[in-house]
Amino acid sequence: MTAPFGERFAAAIAERGQFCVGIDPHAGMLHEWGLDDTVAGLEKFALTAVEAVAPYCSVVKPQSAFYERFGSQGIAVLERVIAESRAAGALVLLDVKRGDIGSTSQAYAEAYLDPRSPLASDAITISPYLGFGSLLPFVEVARINGGGLFVLAATSNKEGPEVQEAMTNDEFGGRTVGSAMLDHLRELNHGAHPVGSFGAVVGATIDGSGYDFAINGPILAPGYGEQGGTAADIVRIFGASAHHVVASSSRGVLRLGPDAGAMRGAVERANDELRSLLG
């Protein structure tokens, strides 16, 4: 049976550092590489990026939407990205942000976390805003298959506070919705060692005050690098939980392509910067 994602995550960041590369082949980036916005361009871009970064970073994070827009042919490319990234030793965090209820949640979970699926990844991003209880099928499938979940909690997009900073109306009253999500994750990860498999998505540029990020689980911090987040911000926001954070950047690495050496160098520099402050 596959080891729990939390164990594999802890081992990966210990060996390869706390930097995650997003492999996001949007049309503008394809054009920057001199590629057409076609399936052929998508394939060239994505697999070149995988070859350049997957052997050197702990986590790669393909954004599913940029592959889905090409239909079944794009999904076939995504399947190769997942398989080749894992073959290179990186964990694959598939950025799908799914969230539904009942049998639909179950089907999404099986699509992305069941090893029998060609889209099976090590972990996925999910949205809890139909209620955290709606995520239980994801939790169950993840537990069975040693998978991980990263739940949206405190994102850095300007629209996020409308939901995430609203106050709950439950028996715990007086906490924000974002804090409630972190509390649920803390409960799921209770007693796990070295770290649980149920993580949070928290922007690397948020203020961070008012949140308790000690969830005994992994944390994905998008917005590192060109979007303004720094290693010092990781320490400032997450404090003692910073050693469970994987900082994510897409554009800051991919804009250096198709030069594989330059992309690899960006990964190494980011890992060095994070290691210098996080240990």
Q: Is residue 47 part of a domain?
A: yes
**Mean pLDDT in residue range 227-250:** 94
What is the number of domains present in the chain?
1
Question: Which residues have a Cβ under 8 Å from the Cβ of 78 and sit 6 or more positions away?
Answer: 46, 62, 64, 67, 68, 119
> Could you tell me how many residues make up the chain?
279
Paired tokens of 164:
């995430």
CATH of the domain at 28: 3.20.20.70
Q: Is residue 173 part of a domain?
A: no
Paired tokens of 47:
């697999």
Paired tokens of 143:
């537990």
pLDDT band at residue 32 under the 50/70/90 scheme = very high
- What is d(CA 216, CA 107) in angstroms, rounded to the nearest whole number? 27
Whether residue 63 is predicted with pLDDT greater than 70 in this model: the reply is yes
> Which residue segment(s) compose the domain that 115 sits in?
5-167+194-225+239-278
Q: Is residue 131 part of a domain?
A: yes
Q: Is residue 66 part of a domain?
A: yes
Q: Is residue 234 part of a domain?
A: no
Q: Is residue 183 part of a domain?
A: no
**String of b and e for 214-247 (b: at least 16 CB within 10 Å)?**
ebbbbbbbbbbbebebbbebbeebbeebbebbbb
**Mean pLDDT in residue range 265-269:** 96
Contact (CB, 8 A) for 145 and 119: no
Whether residue 87 is predicted with pLDDT greater than 60 in this model: the reply is yes
pLDDT band at residue 66 under the 50/70/90 scheme = very high
pLDDT computed for residue 200 by the predictor: 98
Paired tokens of 99:
């969230």
Whether residue 1 is predicted with pLDDT greater than 60 in this model: the reply is no
**Mean pLDDT in residue range 146-157:** 95
The set of long-range contacts for 223-230, using a CB threshold of 8 Å and a minimum separation of 24, is: 223/156, 223/248, 224/19, 224/248, 224/249, 224/252, 224/270, 225/249, 225/251, 225/252, 225/253, 225/270, 226/251, 226/252, 226/255, 227/156, 227/251, 228/204, 229/203, 229/204, 229/205, 230/204, 230/273
- What is d(CA 95, CA 112) in angstroms, rounded to the nearest whole number? 10
For residue 197, CA distances in Å to 59, 87, 104, 251 come to 14, 21, 22, 27
pLDDT computed for residue 172 by the predictor: 65
Per-residue pLDDT of 88-112, as tens digits, reads: 999 999 999 999 999 999 999 999 9
Task: Tell me what the pLDDT averaged over the chain comes to.
Answer: 95
- Catalytic, 44? Answer no
Q: Is residue 176 part of a domain?
A: no
- What is d(CA 271, CA 19) in angstroms, rounded to the nearest whole number? 6
Whether residue 279 is predicted with pLDDT greater than 90 in this model: the reply is no
Whether residue 129 is predicted with pLDDT greater than 60 in this model: the reply is yes
pLDDT computed for residue 217 by the predictor: 98
- In the set 44, 61, 97, 158, the catalytic residue is 97
Please state, as a whole number, how many other Cβ atoms lie within 10 Å of the Cβ of residue 251.
16
Per-residue pLDDT of 189-212, as tens digits, reads: 999 999 999 999 999 999 888 899
